[in-house]
Amino acid sequence: MSMGRGITRSELEKKKKELQQGKKVKIEYSPKVKVRKKYKRVVIGTIQPICEKSTYFRVDTGKYITSFLITDLINKDIILQEIN
């Protein structure tokens, strides 16, 4: 089963395992992605637990919770950096 743009299920599952909950991360949209004005280009927060069937992962910033597609991460549409 392919998850759009040639991403395999196993690739998705592998990425999910890498995104362990409780990690403090900085997420930034890559320059090629257009971001609407009301959305922030850079988000800093902690990763929330990922649901078994979900293709999204949630990031809690303290003020709000936002979600990103895991496939965007694999396609490098968003850049994820860990913060210690």
Q: Model confidence at 28, in pLDDT bands (50, 70, 90)?
A: very high
2-11, 23-32, 57-66, range with the lowest pLDDT: 2-11
pLDDT(7) > 60? yes
Q: Which domains does the chain have, with CATH numbers?
A: 9-82 (2.30.30.100)
Q: Which of 69, 70, 76, 67 lies closest to 32, judged by CA?
A: 76
40 neighbors 34 (Cβ within 8 angstroms): no
Q: Residue 80: which residues within 8 A CB-CB, separation 6 or more? A: 25, 26, 27, 73
Counting beta carbons within 10 angstroms of the beta carbon of residue 76, is it exposed (0 to 12), middle (13 to 18) or buried (19 or more)? exposed
Counting beta carbons within 10 angstroms of the beta carbon of residue 57, is it exposed (0 to 12), middle (13 to 18) or buried (19 or more)? buried
The reported pTM is 0.76
